[in-house]
Amino acid sequence: MLILPDHLTQPFSASTISRMKTTNQIIVLITLLLSPQFLFAAELPSDMVNIKSGCFMMGTNQNFLYEDDDDNAREQPAHKVCLDKFYLDKFEVTQSKWDAVMNFNRSVFHKPDQPITHIRWKEARQYCKKSGKRLPTEAEWEYAARAGSDTRFPWGDEINDDYLWYAGNSPREPANVGSKKPNAWGLYDMVGGVWEWVDDWLSLDYYQRSPMKNPKGPERQSFRVIRGNSWMSDGPYIRVTARHRGMSDPTQSYWVGVRCAMSVK
């Protein structure tokens, strides 16, 4: 028969229990302040989509051009990438959501249901952090945008006005988010709408040496990456693999917004 020492069989004193409760409360408070996603990740936020872990072919082996007639070597070669599960915003961040968190709005058209535009990478990251989220990696963005597809667009190889806003059908300003059909995973405006910041630095030859598991992008470069094209993009230059250097400020032509991600613990 196992006999336990007295100190293991005696009940805790009231003062000990009080100290334990205080310690637990402090731990929860610190976790909430520093990493709120750890406490809430178990419950799917209503405005996010649960992206399951998996592998896909990132990039392309096909040849395309950019608006400046540059080739698309930066999208090559197609290479296998495997990702852990994560959450991603269902919609691009609207101006109403942005205004509730940030104290400025440089958008040309000030309408609450339009996506926020003309924001810098650091500002996009700050918004996501204040919202208990983070920027998606470039690999996470493309994996979610493709939604299991291996075609030029998430829905096929041809432009389909039912799924995106671009130069061929836009109302000459950003449209309200979510007004087109979503991709197969329930994400809206992943192609068209506005460009979206991702976390990675841009290296034109990164795909040639990218790791397979949860790639985070290259070490520091000159520009961050923007993905997704916009309502101003012409049809021939739109594709799910397009990747640009981000140059977003009030003097640049790129209409850049953000869509946040959240890790699943």
pLDDT at 247: 74
- In whole angstroms, give the CA distance from residue 200 to residue 135: 9
Q: Give phi and psi for 83, each to the nearest 5.
A: -125, 150
Q: Where are the domains of the chain?
A: 47-263
| Pairwise pLDDT comparison (36 vs 58), residue with the higher score | 58
222 in helix, strand or coil?
coil
CB atoms within 10 A of CB 212: 13
- In whole angstroms, give the CA distance from residue 89 to residue 75: 24
Residues 157-192 have pLDDT tens digits of 999 999 999 999 999 999 999 999 999 999 999 999
Q: Which two tokens stand for residue 215?
A: 């790639």
Residues 23-57 have pLDDT tens digits of 556 654 554 455 554 444 446 788 999 999 999 99
Residues 88-147 have pLDDT tens digits of 999 999 999 999 999 999 999 999 999 999 999 999 999 999 999 999 999 999 999 999
Reported confidence tier of residue 19, pLDDT bands at 50, 70, 90: low
pLDDT at 250: 47
Share of the chain above pLDDT 90, in %: 78
pLDDT at 2: 47
Per the CB < 8 A criterion, the answer to whether 187 and 147 are in contact is: yes
Q: Which helix (H) or strand (E) holds 99?
A: helix 95-101
Sheet holding 224-227, edge to edge: 243-245, 224-227, 195-201, 256-257
Q: Which two tokens stand for residue 259?
A: 């869509």
The CATH number of 47-263 is 3.90.1580.10
- The three-point CA angle 74-120-229 to 5° equals 45
